[in-house]
Amino acid sequence: QLQLMESGGGLVQPGESLRLSCAASASTLDHYAIAWFRQAPGKKREGVSCISRSGRNRNYADSVKGRFIISRDNAKDTVYLRINSLQTEDTAVYYCAADWSASTAFCSVVNDRGRYADWGQGIQVTVSA
């Protein structure tokens, strides 16, 4: 099982930016597609972004496209999520998750067939004035 740990969250004001990090426990991160999900109070977990094993394929949910930037540094076993122009609606617990089954150039923001088997514990992002 791959262990994942999110960091970089916290309390920010609207319009500010954050960079979340997802660090893996082993130097095998290049075997996994990685996705970021979030869950706001009263809502189901939502996929917001993903990045393929190689980093070539990136995908974003329409709700965050243009504001969120996903990247990865396999040498550091870390995936990042840069969130710009934060709004109150972005308040949620953010999770990263790993997909061993994905092909090299594919990723999905939907956890179809339970493809994301390994999850971090989540980190809170709160946007408030």
Cα separations in angstroms, 46 against 24, 26, 40, 42: 21, 26, 9, 12
The C-alpha atoms of residue 26 and residue 108 are separated, in whole angstroms, by 22
14-63 pLDDT, tens digit each: 999 999 999 999 888 999 999 999 999 999 999 999 999 999 999 999 99
Range in 88-97, 101-110, 119-128 the model is least confident about: 101-110
Q: What is the mean pLDDT of the chain?
A: 95
Token pair of 126, please? 């709160």
Confidence of residue 126 (pLDDT cuts 50, 70, 90): very high
71-88 pLDDT, tens digit each: 999 899 999 999 999 999
